[in-house]
């Protein structure tokens, strides 16, 4: 069925990478697939889209290279740099705020909210080294990045956007 979705949306003029980003989540209900496609297409028009897609790709690569077991929660007391504290706080706030959006299939609204993370994500990568020697700090930063990525993955894998 997903193959049919791909062909139909290509015929409708959607870009291949938008389709792949949604297909990566493997939605099976046509209405859900359509809502995700529209959300990602709208997201692409936002100023923050390219930077966040690149950041998601970077996060994905960092996480893929790490074979460490991550915690299920970020330890706020371990955070050191102002940029990581700000990003961690925003991830927690958005996680709670967006849960109803995800439950209701309001993916476009969710991605618009997530686009607000552009500046804190950019600041984090400009100022914070993730792969530090301090294991506890490194694992906490990796956990935070995983939580960030999980928010975007609730809609689509935007790291696949070109």
76-134 tens-digit pLDDT: 999 999 999 999 999 999 999 999 999 999 999 999 999 999 999 999 999 999 999 99
Q: Look at residue 2 and tell me whether its pLDDT is greater than 70.
A: no
Residue 128, phi then psi, degrees to nearest 5: -115, 130
Total number of residues shown for the chain: 162
Range of the structural domain that residue 58 is part of = 2-160
Residue 27, phi then psi, degrees to nearest 5: -70, 140
Instruction: Give me the torsion for CA of 96, 102, 104, 107, rounded to 10°.
Output: 120
The domain that holds 26 is classified in CATH as 1.10.730.10
Say how many C-beta atoms besides its own lie within 10 A of residue 121's C-beta: 25
Q: What is the pTM of this model?
A: 0.90
Number of domains into which the chain is organized? 1
């Amino acid at each position: 069925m997903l193959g049919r979705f791909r062909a139909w949306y290509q015929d409708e003029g959607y870009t291949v990478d938008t389709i792949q980003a949604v297909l990566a989540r493997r939605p099976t209900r046509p209405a859900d697939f359509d809502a995700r496609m529209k959300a990602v297409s709208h997201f692409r028009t936002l100023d923050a889209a390219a930077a966040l897609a690149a950041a998601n790709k970077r996060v994905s690569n960092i996480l893929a290279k790490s074979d460490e077991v991550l915690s299920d929660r970020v330890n706020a007391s371990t955070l050191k740099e102002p940029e990581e504290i700000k990003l961690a706080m925003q991830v927690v706030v958005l996680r709670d705020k967006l849960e109803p959006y995800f439950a209701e299939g309001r993916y476009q609204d969710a991605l618009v909210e997530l686009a607000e993370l552009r500046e804190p994500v950019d600041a984090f990568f400009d100022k914070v080294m993730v792969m530090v020697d301090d294991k506890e700090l490194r694992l906490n930063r990796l956990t935070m990045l995983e939580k960030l990525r999980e928010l975007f993955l609730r809609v689509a894998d935007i790291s696949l956007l070109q």
